[in-house]
Amino acid sequence: MKIVLSKSYKFMLLVYQFCVKYTTIFERFGQICVDLIGFIGYYGLYERGRDCTTELCGLPVTGNLPPSLSARGVPPPKGEIMLQVVDVSLNFGSRKLFSEVNLKFTKGNCYGVIGANGAGKSTFLKLLSGEIETTKGYITHDKNERMSVLQQNQNAFDNETVLRTVLLGHKRLMEVWDQKDKLYMKEDFSEADGILAGELEQEFADLGGWEAESDAQTLLANIGIDSQYYDTLMRDLDSKLKVKVLLAQALFGNPDILLLDEPTNNLDIKTIAWLENFLLNYENTVITVSHNRHFLNKVCTHICDVDYGKISIFVGNYDFWYESSQLILRQQKEANKKAEARAKELQDFIARFSANASKSKQATSRKKELEKLTIEDIKPSSRRYPYIAFSSERPIGNDVLIVEKLSKKGFFENVSFIVDRNDKIAFLSDNVNAISALFDILSGKDTDYTGKIKWGKTITHSYLPKEYNEMFNTTLSLTDWLGQFSKEKDQTFLRSWLGRMLFSGEEALKPANVLSGGEKVRCMLSKIMLEQGNVILLDEPTNHLDLESITALNKGMSNFNGVLLFASSDQELTQTVANRIIKIDNTKTFDRYITYDEYLEKYAK
Ligand SMILES: Nc1ncnc2c1ncn2[C@@H]1O[C@H](COP(=O)(O)OP(=O)(O)OP(=O)(O)O)[C@@H](O)[C@H]1O
Ligand SMILES: [Mg+2]
């Protein structure tokens, strides 16, 4: 790979490296360093035309950086403001989710919204799209600019065909289209109708109506939806395909502002790569929530960090944000250490000499200096680690699970394996739905199969399926929700399980239906911990979780002394937990006691 870096960019990289290395020594230059990083973040991206890697330039930044802003046609340094957030606050009852947020989103940029589970990312997107209203402040955007939002409710278009669902992404175009069709169906077509039809035809053409169908078909084909599905009703579509159609709907018609909430969830690697490229070449404004570091690094020109009820925008991708926020933190700590030492020195002087007439003048001036000294209140981040520890109530016997010639139509055929008491099995498949189908059968959720499964007598199993949203369609408080799965109904007992998963105080009493994506997973994990099964089945458990929760889950899975059957697209988790890999592609194609890395190295094509 040939890398071309402009001279000025190379120079700035050197300055950056120097600053990072020597910040603690030349701490007085700390602020300059931070400014430089912002500067390099912006202009670096502006000047760069190609990918550069850690090895090549020695930057403490991993992965590929986004393409240059110039390639996106963005004039430096200011773009046209597309969306402005002015003094926005939002409260849910007594909880202040945001207070006095001020932001500007400019054309041509891709903003990655990051923050802990429950910090308010999805809510922020809902504020931007106007789905919910602010408590205070306002959001402005030019009404001529078209905003498109990735639909979160997978069943919202169940009665529409696949092709029409995509077209419905451009609301105004479809309104014009439907109105036009209705008009031509009229029997008593008047002169006024004729004038209206002319206007509608003009608007239809201006909105790209004549190309709309073929554009939608191209989009569907690119995203991996075959033409055989175009006329299928959305309700008859498998959930994996539905997600893709809804994504195509959001992207359709080149919207001016694109809002995406965790778009990579439930997408296969190939489609994620396609989406990354699509967004890289996208000329308008993208605002996307994601916990996927690779995705954020690849597509983002800016990062919006949601923390402590504030949202701050940083220039650069995720790794730039991470490095500079760590640097600011280090610098603040150093400054505080210095200030504390100086304060002590001053206090000692004042204590010793304030009664001494000849030194009283100096003592007074030192008192003044002491009053002026400020020790910053450092708030590194509100991100916290939940405590995930699975323990089983009953020791596991010799017989765990025998699967014999198991077949599920459309997913797999004649699959057989025997699970041992020390197994932690990662299941892989090119068809991710096959593993979900297998787990549904093993957990007893699906009884429509042929073949045999036999669980050992000592076994009690718990299951985290990929689809659990329906379980949260209730206004039960979290304690009552968890109580449904427990013999022990005592509130203090239930609260202790929720507390481990960071639902403390009032939080444990909120209704289940308002939970964020990651909070739902945390609740499901509380349920699994409480059930204390000796076999646990987990289907993509890291979906929706923030990095802290993924780390805690990884630890909990590694330390579990029972049997684990799981599927995860998180490579590190799979590598550190699994001692056996089973790959199922229609029939069982691979089964070995081996780590994931060994599998990738020796057996993956
Ligand atoms: N109507 C509501 N009433 C009370 N609390 C609410 C309501 N809607 C959302 N919340 C709470 O607001 C917080 C923010 O939710 P949001 O869905 O925006 O989080 P998020 O940052 O998207 O998290 P995740 O990463 O898990 O998706 C959560 O704690 C959620 O429980
Ligand atoms: Mg969310």
Give, in order, the Cα–Cα distances in Å from 499 to each of 92, 221, 479, 524, 528. Answer: 21, 46, 10, 13, 14
Query: Please, how many CA atoms are within 13 Å of residue 362, restricted to the half-sphere of its CB?
Result: 13
**What integer pLDDT is reported at residue 76 of this predicted model?**
39
What pLDDT is recorded for position 475? 96
**What DSSP assignment string belongs to 241-302?**
HHHHHHHHHHHTT--SEEEEESTTTT--HHHHHHHHHHHHT--SEEEEE---HHHHHHH-SE
Return the best residue to mutate from 88, 122, 260 for the ligand 1 pocket (most ligand atoms within 8 A of CB). 122
Closest C-alpha to ligand 1, atom 30: 515
Quick check: CB of 518 below 6 Å from ligand 1? yes
pLDDT score for 573: 93
Q: Closest Cα to atom 7, ligand 1: which residue?
A: 514
Specify the residue with its C-alpha closest to ligand 1, atom 25: 117
pTM of the model: 0.78
122 in ligand 1 pocket by Cβ < 6 Å? yes
Q: Counting Cβ atoms within 10 Å, is residue 562 exposed (0-12), middle (13-18) or buried (19+)? A: buried
Query: Which ligand number lies closest to the CA of residue 261?
Result: 2
Q: What tokens were used for 530?
A: 């409480």
Residue 446: predicted pLDDT: 94
Residue 551 near ligand 1, beta carbon < 6 Å: no
DSSP symbol at 235? G
Q: Is 516 in the pocket of ligand 1 (CB under 6 A)?
A: yes
CATH number of 69-145+256-316: 3.40.50.300
Ligand in closest contact with the CA of 119: 1
Q: Which residues pair with 140 in a beta bridge?
A: 84
Minimum-distance ligand to the CA of 131?
1
- Residue 126 Cβ inside 6 Å of ligand 1? The answer reads no
Domain 401-602 CATH class label: alpha beta
The Cα 519–Cα 537 span in angstroms is: 19
Predicted confidence at residue 588, as pLDDT, reads 77
Task: Pick the ligand that lies closest to the CA of residue 543.
Answer: 1
> Does the beta carbon of 91 lie inside 6 Å of ligand 1?
no
Q: Which atom of ligand 1 is nearest to the CA of 519?
A: 26
Which residue is closest in CA terms to ligand 1's atom 18?
A: 120
Spatial distance between the Cα atoms of 405 and 446, rounded to a whole number of angstroms: 16
Q: Which of 570, 564, 513 is nearest to 542 (CA)?
A: 570
CA distance 242 to 401: 33
Neighbours of 486 (CB within 10 A): 15
User: What is the C-alpha separation between 373 and 596, in angstroms, rounded?
Assistant: 54
Alpha helices in 142-236 (DSSP H): 162-167, 171-185, 191-206, 209-222
For the chain, list residues with pLDDT below 70: 1-79, 375-382, 605
Q: Which residues contact 515 (CB under 8 A, 6 or more apart)?
A: 472, 478, 523
Tokens 């004549």 sit at which residue? 210
Q: What is the pLDDT of residues 116-129, one digit of tens each?
A: 999 999 999 999 99
Contact yes or no for 597/575 (Cβ under 8 A): yes
DSSP lists the bridge partners of residue 515 as: none
Ligand closest to Cα of 382 equals 1
Burial of 456 (0-12, 13-18, 19+ CB in 10 A): middle
- Indicate which atom in ligand 1 lies nearest the CA of residue 121: 21
| Probe residue for ligand 1, chosen from 150, 261, 304, 514 as the CB with the greatest number of ligand atoms within 8 Å | 514
- Any atom of ligand 1 within 6 Å of the Cβ of 550: no
Distance between Cα 484 and ligand 1 center (Å): 22
**What are the domain boundaries of the chain?**
7-68, 69-145+256-316, 329-372, 401-602
H runs (alpha helix) in 356-406: 360-372
- The pLDDT score that the predictor gives to residue 39 is 53
Q: Do domains 69-145+256-316 and 401-602 have the same CATH topology?
A: yes
CA of 514 to the centre of ligand 2 (A): 11
